[in-house]
Amino acid sequence: MVNQANRTQMMRALFALREQILSGEFKPGERMSELPLVERLGVSRTPLRLALASLEHEGLLRLLPAGGYVVREFTQADMRQAIEIRGVLEGTACRFAAEQGASRRDLRALRAINDQIAPLVHRADYESFERYVALNGEFHKRLIKMAHSPLLERTLDTVLSLPFATPNALVLQHAQLPESREILIVAHRQHLWLVDAISNREGSRADNVAREHARLSLTNLEIVLSRRGLLEQVPGASLLALDGELDSA
């Protein structure tokens, strides 16, 4: 059983390593050697090993057959599949929420969040995009909680730990692009449709809308992949194996 001191060190190591991997301090294929990491992070070996195992479970590290871990490389197919799987899980969560019957309080909260989002999707300034990201994250978190399924939440958390998989992963990187603002307008409408479907207990409709909503992230992904400068700003971009050359626009 892990004692409290080891757990505290493990969490510190986990957060630090995750951030350092996503920021590019470790490269794909690089071996995560224990002794240098112990010195680097200021933790003992037991919590470090627990942190490495957790990152392997999340998918950021790969366990070697002979033991030890290396940083995982992601393909564009990995990214697309992660977004598709997120859509399936979020769709299931929305269907659960609709079929169980959402409380008036939850529905009011979703509508209030979406009302705050409404003016932001028509603005081009960076501050509005930052506010959009915060509200959009809040909207999605509340949707998942409304499913009342801890198992679904845990499964979705695993997917969301992967680079590029979250609903907000690619928004801020292209805040000034007209095509991205158009996508946000569509996303806002889909939020409205989701709330309406859940309110009317239309499980299949809620599921389908949520899946289509996640697919907007695929459109955002294509935009980012076509612009090297934007891609380099995305956390986890250094882990991506690019298929061919990207446009320099």
Q: Does 82 lie in the same domain as 59?
A: no
Q: Does 175 lie in the same domain as 98?
A: yes
Q: What is the pLDDT of residue 6?
A: 79
Report the distance separating Cα 155 and Cα 93, nearest Å.
11
Q: What is the pLDDT of residue 76?
A: 85
Instruction: Please give the helix or strand (H or E) that residue 240 lies within, else none.
Output: strand 240-241
Q: Give the domain-ending residue among 30, 55, 72.
A: 72
Report the distance separating Cα 249 and Cα 241, nearest Å.
19
Using alpha carbons only, give the angle 41, 46, 47 rounded to the nearest 5 degrees.
50
Q: Give the domain-ending residue among 72, 99, 124.
A: 72
Q: Does 104 lie in the same domain as 59?
A: no
Q: What is the pLDDT of residue 175?
A: 62
Q: Does 104 lie in the same domain as 66?
A: no
CATH code: domain of residue 29: 1.10.10.10
Please give the chain's pLDDT, 249 residues, in tens: 557 777 889 999 999 999 899 888 999 999 999 999 999 999 999 999 999 999 998 889 999 999 999 999 998 888 889 999 999 999 999 999 999 999 999 999 999 999 999 999 888 787 888 899 899 999 999 999 999 999 999 999 989 888 778 888 777 655 667 777 788 899 999 999 999 999 999 999 999 999 999 998 888 888 777 776 777 777 788 888 865 444 433
Domain extent at residue 38: 4-72
DSSP-derived secondary structure for 117-138:
HTTGGG--SHHHHHHHHHHHHH
Q: Does 205 lie in the same domain as 138?
A: yes
Bridge partner list, 31: 70
Tell me how long the chain is.
249
CATH code: domain of residue 127: 1.20.120.530
Report the distance separating Cα 228 and Cα 226, nearest Å.
6
195 and 94 Cβ atoms separated by less than 8 Å: no
Q: Does 196 lie in the same domain as 112?
A: yes
Residue 166 maps to a domain: yes
